[in-house]
């Protein structure tokens, strides 16, 4: 048995992790364990912030324009930019330093100026524009925290002594005032925040590390099999940026795409105690780490989730203890996810480094295909639910192992025919010739390979494989 163990370790000294083969068992039954629940979401509501390009000393900003750009961010840094084409000419009051106060009532907005020049400019510009929009930014009682106020103005009056323009207006919203909008999100450097969220020049970044308590029972199907994880350490970091275009006049989403840069690693050890012939898939998914950190009330909400899963496809024709120690590292990978056109989605990079070791205690035919998954999912809601989509990518590396010992041996729970063993072939054990016979008539046959896929999905539209590779590790017969 020491020779057998050495041969197995030699054959799988390079390989690993994750690829879910959820094919049903053929002869001995199928069972799947799947546990998943979400952790409480970590909300990060962004605040309106002044555009870095705005010259607030320029009184020309009082002239209404149909093209406006609004920024939201944190700690004064712009992270999300919303460029809008407005149905009515619009003034952003936040871009004028000369405005000293803004007071809003149910049917009026009063704007006071610090200078006569500002007052005169506003009265002249606003008198010539008919209906127009005033946008407030948390001045007076015109809007709530984290929101801007949109007011449709129908007429104005003025008081030169107090340098105040009073607009007859009523509160409205983006849905009613914009013709189209274009949203981009990225970020500039800010100090690292709590709850594993960091922000950097290339976009929003989420990092998560998870160490599951060991030993962790993954599944138990008495009296056939039990599977335990004696270690499970997983880490991942993702950076997001994106671009969105929506026409309110046409009620049409013309662009929704995200770029996802990721790195990940996993170190997993599994022990399967098989007491009789059995095939099954076990999977454990701890709660996902979820966020709602792009949240602009009434305009857009983007809630990413970072989820892990570990498990194995397991098949054995008799009793044995089967172990697998797996490790994988993905230093860098990029995925471009186009929610509207799967053909425009792509994956680059993704060069995993992998190691593995497997062992089996009995002379039987068996397979163990351990896997781990890292999934990034994005929930996107635009204009209070006019568009509601979710999609993401799953990194799925895997290690497929088939061990078949064809030497004569009695079986636990198997069948015997004279001195020749007859058995139900486990799911992933493959015949080697057209007659369905194994390559080894007396000996140990090992087939091992590393498999890695990047799968993109948008729940309402598509699920497609962006990248797939299989690396052969061993396919040999060790004759006895």
Boundaries of every domain in the chain: 2-43+187-479, 47-183
C-alpha to C-alpha distance for 190 and 209, rounded to whole angstroms: 22
Mean pLDDT of the chain: 77
For residue 206 the two structure tokens come to: 């989420």
Amino acid 46: pLDDT: 74
Strands 320-338 and 216-221: unpaired
Amino acid 364: pLDDT: 72
Amino acid 318: pLDDT: 79
Query: Which of 150-164, 276-290, 406-420 comes out lowest in average pLDDT?
Result: 406-420
C-alpha to C-alpha distance for 356 and 15, rounded to whole angstroms: 5
Amino acid 34: pLDDT: 29
- What burial letters (b/e) apply to 291-326, b meaning 16+ CB within 10 Å? bbbbbbbebbbbbbbbbbbbbbbbbbbbbbebbbbb
Amino acid 12: pLDDT: 34
- Give residue-wise pLDDT tens across range 55-89: 999 999 999 999 999 988 766 555 788 999 999 99
| Span 144-157, average pLDDT | 90
Please indicate, yes or no, whether the overall pTM of this predicted structure exceeds 0.85: no
Q: Is pLDDT larger for residue 410 or for residue 253?
A: 253
DSSP tag of 430: -
Where is 121: in which H helix or E strand?
Answer: helix 116-127
Q: Does 136 score more than 80 pLDDT?
A: yes
C-alpha to C-alpha distance for 382 and 189, rounded to whole angstroms: 26
Confidence of residue 90 (pLDDT cuts 50, 70, 90): very high
Amino acid 302: pLDDT: 84
Amino acid 475: pLDDT: 78
Which residues does residue 445 pair with via DSSP β-bridges, in sequence order?
404, 477
| Span 380-399, average pLDDT | 89
Amino acid 439: pLDDT: 57
For residue 89 the two structure tokens come to: 């000419």
Amino acid 224: pLDDT: 84
Amino acid 430: pLDDT: 40
C-alpha to C-alpha distance for 408 and 435, rounded to whole angstroms: 21
Amino acid 336: pLDDT: 94
Q: What is the dihedral of CA 124, 129, 131, 133, to 10 degrees?
A: -70
Amino acid 85: pLDDT: 96
State percent of the chain over pLDDT 90.
Answer: 32
For residue 142 the two structure tokens come to: 């015109």
Amino acid 357: pLDDT: 74
Q: Does 413 score more than 80 pLDDT?
A: no
Where is 19: in which H helix or E strand?
Answer: none
- Give residue-wise pLDDT tens across range 347-369: 998 888 888 777 777 777 788 88
Where is 116: in which H helix or E strand?
Answer: helix 116-127
Amino acid 213: pLDDT: 84
- Give residue-wise pLDDT tens across range 182-224: 998 875 333 333 344 444 444 567 778 888 888 888 888 888 8
Tell me if residue 36 falls in helix, strand or coil: coil
Selection from 137-146, 244-253, 436-445 with the highest mean pLDDT? 244-253
C-alpha to C-alpha distance for 237 and 239, rounded to whole angstroms: 7
Q: Is pLDDT larger for residue 9 or for residue 273?
A: 273
Q: Is pLDDT larger for residue 27 or for residue 193?
A: 193
Q: Is pLDDT larger for residue 444 or for residue 131?
A: 131
| Span 445-457, average pLDDT | 86
- Give residue-wise pLDDT tens across range 263-309: 999 888 888 888 888 888 888 888 887 777 677 878 888 888 888 88
């Amino acid at each position: 048995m020491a020779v057998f163990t050495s041969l197995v370790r030699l054959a799988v000294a390079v390989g690993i992790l994750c690829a879910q083969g959820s094919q049903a068992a053929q002869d001995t039954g199928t069972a799947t364990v799947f546990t998943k629940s979400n952790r409480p979401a970590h909300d990060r509501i962004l605040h309106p912030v002044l555009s870095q390009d705005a010259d607030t000393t320029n009184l020309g900003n009082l002239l209404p324009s149909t093209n406006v750009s609004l920024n939201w961010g944190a700690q004064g840094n712009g992270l999300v930019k919303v460029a809008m084409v407005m149905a009515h000419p619009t003034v952003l009051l936040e871009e004028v330093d000369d405005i000293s106060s803004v007071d809003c009532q149910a049917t009026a907005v009063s704007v006071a100026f610090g200078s006569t020049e500002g007052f005169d400019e506003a009265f002249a510009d606003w008198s010539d524009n008919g209906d127009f929009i005033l946008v407030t930014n948390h001045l007076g009682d015109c809007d709530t925290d984290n929101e801007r106020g949109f007011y449709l103005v129908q007429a104005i009056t003025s008081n030169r002594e107090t340098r105040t323009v009073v607009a007859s207006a009523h509160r409205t919203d983006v849905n009613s005032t914009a013709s189209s909008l274009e949203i981009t999100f990225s970020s500039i450097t800010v100090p690292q925040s709590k709850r594993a969220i960091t922000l950097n020049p290339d976009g929003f970044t989420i990092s998560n590390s998870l160490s599951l308590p060991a030993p962790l029972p993954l599944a138990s199907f008495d009296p056939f099999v039990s599977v335990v994880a004696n270690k499970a350490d997983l880490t991942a970091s993702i950076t997001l940026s994106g671009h969105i275009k929506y026409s309110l006049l046409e009620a049409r989403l013309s662009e929704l795409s995200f770029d996802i840069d990721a790195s990940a690693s996993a170190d997993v050890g599994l022990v399967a105690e098989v007491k009789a012939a059995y095939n099954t898939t076990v999977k454990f998914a701890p709660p996902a780490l979820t966020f709602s950190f792009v949240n602009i009330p009434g305009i857009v909400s983007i809630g990413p989730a970072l989820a892990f899963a570990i498990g194995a496809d397991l098949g054995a024709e008799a009793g044995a203890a089967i172990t697998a120690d797996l490790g994988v590292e993905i230093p860098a990978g990029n995925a471009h996810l186009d929610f509207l056109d799967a053909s425009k989605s792509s994956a680059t990079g993704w060069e995993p480094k992998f190691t593995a070791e497997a062992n089996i205690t009995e002379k039987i035919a068996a397979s163990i295909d351990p896997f781990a998954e890292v999934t990034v999912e994005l929930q996107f809601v635009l204009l209070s639910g006019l568009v509601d989509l979710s999609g993401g990518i799953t990194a799925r590396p895997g290690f497929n192992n088939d061990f078949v010992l064809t030497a004569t041996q009695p079986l636990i729970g198997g069948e015997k025919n004279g001195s020749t063993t007859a058995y139900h072939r486990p799911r992933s054990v493959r015949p080697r010739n057209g007659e369905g016979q194994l390559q080894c008539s007396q000996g140990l046959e090992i087939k091992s390979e590393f498999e890695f896929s990047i799968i993109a999905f948008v729940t309402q539209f598509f699920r497609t494989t962006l990248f797939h590779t299989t690396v052969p590790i061993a396919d040999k017969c060790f004759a006895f």
